[in-house]
A and B are shown apart, each in its own frame.
Chain A
Amino acid sequence: MSLPDRIDPRPPRRIYRWDLDKTYLQTDFESLRDLFRTAFQKAHEKVAIPGASALIRELAEQGDSRLCIVSGSPKQMRAVLEEKLKLDGIQWDEFVLKDNVSNLLRGRFRALRGQVGYKLPVILESRIHAPVEAEEVLFGDDAEADAFIYSLYADLIAGRVDERVLAQVLEAGGVYPDDAARVHEAWKKIPIADPVRRIFIHLDRLTPPAHFTAYGPRVVPIFNYFQAALVLLADGHLTAPQVLKIAVEMVQTAGHNIITLSNSFQDLLRRGLPLQQAAIALSQAMEGPNALLKAMRPVPDILAAFSKRLAALGTQPPPPRVQAVDYVSLISHALPRTHKGRSTKPPP
């Protein structure tokens, strides 16, 4: 590291925001028993979702990005979670956990399960210090309200949501006044820009992808992190050899194979994501001499599988439609799962 870098590190060109449970970590807290098990798990017992740690490491490879983690896990789990991230070779820049003890002591019961009043102010406050030109890619899951919160965040800082809508959403979302004030305050400090490029939603509950159509093409529901890597390759965040490294990790650690990977590739194509160029880049990378890629051999089979999935579709589907997000009508989907007002129907 050069002297100027040590004194004044380069400003980040890209910011990657990650949720933890069900996005990075395989977590079960559907029942009280699961909740207890998760709470008392040791770092080495926690399991990352296949490909997630490889993806984070590859995204950090360029050295000009920041990793910001915002998790709904309680602050008391910080030591274990940090140890797990270190075990996986993950280096983070921000790591925020939820202060649920304080919520409990102050009788703020809505805040215990509520996500909007917790995550939205945290990520807005984090953005205040980011360079205006820094792009963002966000990673969440389908368990709670990540698609809603991340989309609202993106549209707030892009100036596409007005104050009246924000107030309606915060009220309908049961956000406490002090958290709502934090949202407004942070929002006003952020210069208008449109930095959020993608929002990946890991389909932990296998929610049908159409459930997220109302959020527009920026939100990409994914069955696995190979899919995220493919989109990020097309978006210029990753190179083809980096995508292959992620695929290799998934093959070696989670039993993925040519069929699951090529099906994942075709799934994105069928949803209208323009990945043809990414596929060509991957093919070229696979023909290279990289020793790591030996794990992915036989190359002809892989290339054939990808080509067949592409050819099998006939004409390419059109790209998804860009549309304004109606946050007021979508807020019922962002309420905690136990909330009586939460809608189970897919958004219009």
Chain B
Amino acid sequence: MVGKPQHITIAFDVMGSDHGPLEVVRGAAQLSLESPHIHALLVGDRPVIDEALASIKHNGERISVHHAGDFVGMDEKPGEALARKPESSVAVAARLVAEGEAHALVSAGNTGAGVLACKRHFQLIPGVRRAALATVYPTRGVRGAKQDPFSLILDVGATVEATAEDLVAFAVMGSAYARIISRNERPKVALLSNGVEPQKGPPRVVEAHQRLSQMSGLNFTGNVEGIDIPRGTVDVIVTDGFVGNVCLKMLEGVHDTVMELAQYAYKESLRWRAGLAMLSSGIERLKDITDWEQYGGAPILGFDRIFIKAHGRSKARAIANAGKVAAKAVANELGTAIQEGLAK
């Protein structure tokens, strides 16, 4: 496990995001200006990074570059791509973190490749059998000292079939993460099921419910239903990777459909347009509150090193914030917190 370092180095997988290397370099440059204790290790095509850096305001004392000549594209199959491209930026970045050259990894590239690279190079925390991919979702409620409007859902795709033991570990990991990142002293943790009653759901969920109810040090509130996700009833929602991924995609689909309907309404009728215009300041406020770029990214939990997966569409600000989230997780020894949580 990585101890508490004085200076934190974050390895950025520069290549492979939707906006190309420039946005990631800009994000790291922004981080170098804003956070003196964080150093950025940019992993990717050196000439491309150098050209971008030379024309961006940055602090050269806080940035270094590691050349990686290949990268995994968004549309590539992770396993095949990593086997074919062992020197891809995400693989090299994960290796550098494992070797101690950096304390955490941030990538806005192919999620599967990122998770697989971590599986190959990082170790699972003792007591964790499988890693979980978490994501944040904007909700009606706010939580923690940061007044965070985001709740954490895990797993959303790393472990398709989770056992009761895995779900318990996910709950502990999610709780530790929310405590550290959202500064939420006692985050409310719940299992996603088809009813709030303890006996509802498949056997693994029922068993996990029993075990979580008996755990001290965890603010387990029981089961929640899908409807509770956007309501923000709890701070951490635990499920397996299959259900989590279906939920996530459905929530994204609903969001996109609402936006399309709003655009349709705007074009269709003058009255509707006027109505939307009157609501515009409120909509802007809502956008501010639920702006995922301020969160930066979501973690892969369970490994001895930190991996923050930034959204593929991340711009510089989101990348910089993902770097800050990663640094915060390192500084607050997230791995140790998870390990201690599992021991209780």
Contact A257-B58, Cβ < 8 Å, known A266-B64, A267-B63, A270-B65: no
A223 interface residue (CB < 8 Å to B): yes
Please, which residue of chain B has its CB at the minimum distance from the CB of A258? B7
Whether B47 contacts A263 by the Cβ 8 Å rule is: no
Is the pair B64, A262 in contact by a Cβ cutoff of 8 Å? yes
Contact (Cβ within 8 A) B9 A209: no
From A21-29, A54-62, A131-139, A308-316, the one touching the partner chain is A308-316
Contacts of B57 in A (CB 8 A): 206-208
- Chain A residues engaging chain B, CB cutoff 8 angstroms: 203, 206-210, 213, 223-224, 256-257, 259-260, 262-264, 266-267, 270-271, 308-309, 312-314, 317, 346
A sample of 15 inter-chain contacts (CB < 8 A) reads A206-B58, A207-B57, A210-B54, A210-B55, A213-B54, A224-B61, A259-B64, A260-B62, A263-B64, A266-B65, A271-B54, A308-B101, A312-B65, A312-B67, A313-B46
Q: Beta-carbon contacts of B1-43 to A below 8 Å, as 1s and 0s? A: 0000001010000000000000000000000010000010000
Residue contact B60 to A264, C-beta cutoff 8 Å: yes
Q: Which 3 A-B pairs have the closest CB atoms?
A: A314-B67, A210-B54, A267-B60
Given A314-B46, A317-B47, 13 additional A-B pairs, CB 8 A: A206-B33, A206-B59, A207-B57, A209-B60, A224-B61, A263-B61, A263-B63, A270-B46, A270-B53, A309-B64, A314-B67, A314-B69, A317-B46
Judge whether B56 is part of the interface by a CB distance below 8 angstroms: yes
Contact A313 B61, CB 8 Å, known A208-B54, A270-B50, A346-B55 = no
Q: Whose C-beta in chain B lies nearest to the C-beta of A318?
A: B47
Contacts of B186 in A (CB 8 A): none
Report Cα–Cα, A263/B53, bound state, in Å: 13
> In the complex, how many angstroms separate the beta carbon of A77 from the nearest chain B beta carbon?
29
B39 & A263 in contact (Cβ 8 Å cutoff): yes
Q: In the complex, A206 Cα to B67 Cα: how many Å? A: 24
A309: chain B residues at CB < 8 Å are 64
Interface residues on B, range: 20 to 34
- How many Å lie between the Cα of A142 and that of B65 in the bound state? 24
Residues from chain A with Cβ under 8 Å of B101 in the complex: 308
Contacts of B55 in A (CB 8 A): 208, 210, 346
A48 to B56, CA, bound (A): 26
Taking the closest CB of chain B, its distance from the CB of A269, in whole angstroms, is 9
In angstroms, Cα B66 to Cα A308, docked, is: 9
Residues of A within 8 A of B7 (CB): 257, 259
Name the CB-closest residue of A to B55: A210
- Give the shortest distance, in Å, between A221 (CB) and chain B (any CB): 9
Contact residues, B90-133 vs A (CB, 8 A): 101
Least CB distance, A141 to chain B, in whole angstroms: 15
Interface 1/0s, chain B 54-93, versus A by CB < 8 A?
A: 1111111111111101000000000000000000000000
Most buried by A among B9, B54, B57, B101: B54
By beta carbon, the residue of chain B nearest A268 is: B60
The answer to whether A259 and B9 touch (CB under 8 A), given A312-B67, A313-B46, is: yes
Closest chain A residue to B68, Cβ basis: A314
B46 to chain A, nearest CB (A): 6
Bound-complex Cα distance A256 to B7 (A): 11
CB-CB under 8 A from B59, the residues of chain A are: 206, 223
Report the minimal beta-carbon distance from B45 to chain A, rounded to whole angstroms.
Answer: 9
Least CB separation from B49: chain A residue: A270
A5 CA to B172 CA, complexed, in Å: 78
Chain B residues with CB under 8 Å of A260's CB are 61-62
Interchain CB contact under 8 A, A313 and B54: no
Chain B nearest CB, measured from A318 CB (Å):
10
Q: For A263, what are the chain B residues with a Cβ–Cβ distance below 8 Å?
A: 39, 60-64
Complex interface bits, B178-199 against A, C-beta within 8 A gives 1, otherwise 0 = 0000000000000000000000
- Closest Cβ of chain B to A216, distance in Å, is 15
Closest chain-B Cβ to A265's Cβ sits at a distance in Å of 9
Measured between C-beta atoms, what is the minimum distance from A300 to chain B in Å?
A: 14
Closest to A264 in B: B61
Note all chain B residues with C-beta closer than 8 A to A213. 54
Distance of A262 Cα from B59 Cα, bound (Å):
13
Most interface-central of A308, A312, A313, A346 (chain B CB within 10 A): A312
Please measure, in the bound complex, the distance between the C-alpha atom of A260 and the C-alpha atom of B40, giving whole angstroms: 11
Q: Are B58 and A208 closer than 8 Å at their CB atoms?
A: yes
A185 to chain B, nearest CB (A): 39
Instruction: Tell me how far the C-beta of B250 lies from the nearest C-beta in chain A, rounded to whole angstroms.
Output: 43
Q: A206-B33, A208-B55, A271-B54 are in contact. Are A313 and B67 (CB under 8 A)?
A: yes
Name the B residues within 8 Å of A346 (CB-CB): 55
By a CB distance below 8 angstroms, the chain A residues around B67 are 312-314
Residues of A within 8 A of B66 (CB): 312
Known: A259-B9, A308-B101. A317 touches B50 (CB 8 A): yes
